[in-house]
Amino acid sequence: MFDFGIPGYLPQWLSGREAITAAHGSRLATLVGRRLTRSLLVWDEDEDAWFPDAPVLLDFEGEQVEIVHWKFDELSITWNTVDPDRSLKWAAEEFRLSWRSGVPSALAALAGRPLLEVSLLEWAGRDLAYGTVAPAFRFPDGQVTVYNALDENGLEFETPDHRYVRHRLGRDGGGGVRPYGGRR
């Protein structure tokens, strides 16, 4: 199994909101109320740019959630398995990668904020991405969605596209369902 050049990392691939909710809904819901203490992205040192193929790490007061999208519909969420102090060794030697915090600035600005809500956004557009799932985290004065950007991660800091259906996770892992923008 491909480990993204991260020592000891074993992604757990799931597809579909039901499978992701069953595996991670309750634990994601327990993050509500915790502060985002740090976020880390893999950085391409030669390009001085985010390397979106690797996991996004969000640490909520010691509970680290690791999110990565792969292929058209696969999502891996793991917990506390990545040690960002260990160096990365991508299979292709041409990449010089490292963990970086403080980027992008919109994500860094959320540090120290308490999490108000966590949702799984399900794409309802009539296209190839139909049914893909994006974890979304809402804070008092901002939000971040980690979405599938076709075989890599994307980050969004604005209100999600109206074609997403939001499945808010309650403390029991379930919750209300509401499409963004008022449409399905």
Q: What is the pLDDT of residues 58-88, one digit of tens each?
A: 999 999 999 999 998 999 999 999 999 998 9
Question: What's the CA gap between 51 and 153, in Å, rounded?
Answer: 9
**H/E element, 137:** strand 133-139
Q: How far apart are the first and last CA of the chain?
A: 36
Work out the mean pLDDT of the chain and round it to a whole number: 90
**pLDDT given at position 178:** 45
Beta bridge partners of 166: 121, 178
Identify the residue whose tokens are 């292709």.
Answer: 92
Which sequence spans correspond to the domains of the chain? 13-182
Identify the pLDDT of residue 153.
97
Tell me how far apart the alpha carbons of residues 96 and 46 are, in angstroms, rounded to a whole number.
7
pLDDT tens for residues 118-134? 999 999 998 888 999 99
Please, what is the Cα angle at 36 between 56 and 160, to 5 degrees? 65
Classify each residue of 94-106 as buried b or exposed e, where b means 16 or more C-beta atoms within 10 Å of its C-beta: ebebebbeeeeee
Q: For 125-148, what is the mean pLDDT?
A: 95
What pTM, to 2 d.p., does this model score? 0.91
In this predicted structure, what is the pLDDT of residue 170?
78
Q: Do 113 and 139 contact (CB within 8 A), yes or no?
A: yes
